[in-house]
């Protein structure tokens, strides 16, 4: 997966692969020993590629650095249940860290969840499913922060419950309808993610759409100029339940 991910980001930043730094087998072994179990292979692959530095792919308030994760575990003040493995630590309070849920497999991958560490949230069922897979999360971040954020005009969209009740379009149907509508506007879906996670590219504009496992719908459009962004968003609002 990581070769595919680096190739994907190279399309937007040819120098990006040179900026990442993987971690050593010694550090991976140390993390595994600290956790008390083997790491999921997909997480090991990520750590070998960029476990010490994700270069300039900066995810706000989240650290994927293996040293930060080892420190979290070695503090021994709090341990998550064994079904969860930390993949990213939030660097400011409240500490809603990111975990792979090993009891929610997705082929060779796992669902990504968030919950507040250092407390009883996980034991009270306050676990928030975020992405259906580690792959969906990585490619979403790469698309948003290395592609969409380079475009000067952006707009967030959300599903309207009022429009949903009026039209009968469910959030599940919205994913398919959004992809079909975008393709009619000249966008191409990038085939790196699950059907519920849309990366849509048109050169002068992009659309991101994500139906998280928890429900709700995250959407964003970006464009090279304000007029194009307005046109894209107008079509989306007119023909879907997005507002």
pLDDT for the residue 232: 97
Write the pLDDT tens digit of every residue in 5-51: 999 999 999 999 999 999 999 999 999 999 999 999 999 999 999 99
Tokens of 195: 């059907």
pLDDT for the residue 92: 83
User: Distance between CA atoms of 24 and 21, rounded to whole angstroms?
Assistant: 10
Tokens of 21: 């730094």
- Mean pLDDT in residue range 185-199: 97
Q: Which of 158, 159, 156, 110 is nearest to 137 (CA)?
A: 110
Q: What is the per-residue burial (b if ≥16 Cβ within 10 Å, else e) of 163-180?
A: ebeeeebebeebbebbbe
Specify whether the CB–CB gap between 126 and 115 falls below 8 A: yes
- Mean pLDDT in residue range 167-182: 92
User: Distance between CA atoms of 47 and 124, rounded to whole angstroms?
Assistant: 31
Q: Which of 178, 163, 232, 234 is nearest to 209 (CA)?
A: 178
Please name the residue that has the structure tokens 């994700």. Answer: 54
3-state helix, strand, coil in the chain (%, to 5): 40, 25, 35
* Relative orientation angle of helices 41-50 and 134-146, to the nearest 10 degrees: 30
pLDDT for the residue 118: 67
* Number of other residues whose CB lies within 10 A of the CB of residue 109: 22
């Amino acid at each position: 997966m990581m070769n595919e991910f680096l190739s994907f980001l190279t399309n937007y930043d040819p120098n990006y692969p040179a900026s990442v730094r993987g971690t050593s087998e010694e550090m991976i072994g140390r993390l595994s020993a600290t956790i008390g179990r083997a790491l999921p292979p997909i997480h090991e692959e990520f750590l070998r590629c960029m476990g010490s530095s994700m270069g300039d792919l900066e995810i706000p308030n989240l650290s994927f650095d293996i040293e930060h994760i080892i420190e979290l575990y070695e503090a021994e003040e709090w341990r998550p249940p064994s079904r969860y493995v930390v993949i990213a630590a939030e660097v400011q309070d409240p500490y809603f860290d990111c975990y792979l849920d090993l009891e929610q497999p997705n082929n060779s991958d796992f669902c990504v969840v968030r919950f507040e560490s250092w407390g009883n949230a996980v034991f009270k069922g306050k676990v928030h499913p975020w992405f259906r897979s580690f792959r969906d999360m990585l490619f979403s971040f790469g698309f948003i922060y290395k592609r969409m954020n380079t475009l000067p005009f952006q707009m967030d969209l959300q599903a309207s419950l009022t429009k949903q009740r009026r039209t009968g379009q469910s959030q599940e149907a919205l994913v398919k309808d959004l992809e079909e509508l975008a393709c009619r506007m000249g966008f191409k879906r990038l085939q790196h993610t699950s059907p519920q996670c849309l990366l849509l590219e048109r050169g002068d504009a992009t659309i991101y759409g994500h139906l998280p496992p928890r429900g709700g719908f995250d959407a964003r459009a970006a464009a090279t100029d304000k007029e194009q962004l307005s046109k894209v968003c107008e079509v989306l609002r007119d023909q879907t339940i997005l507002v």
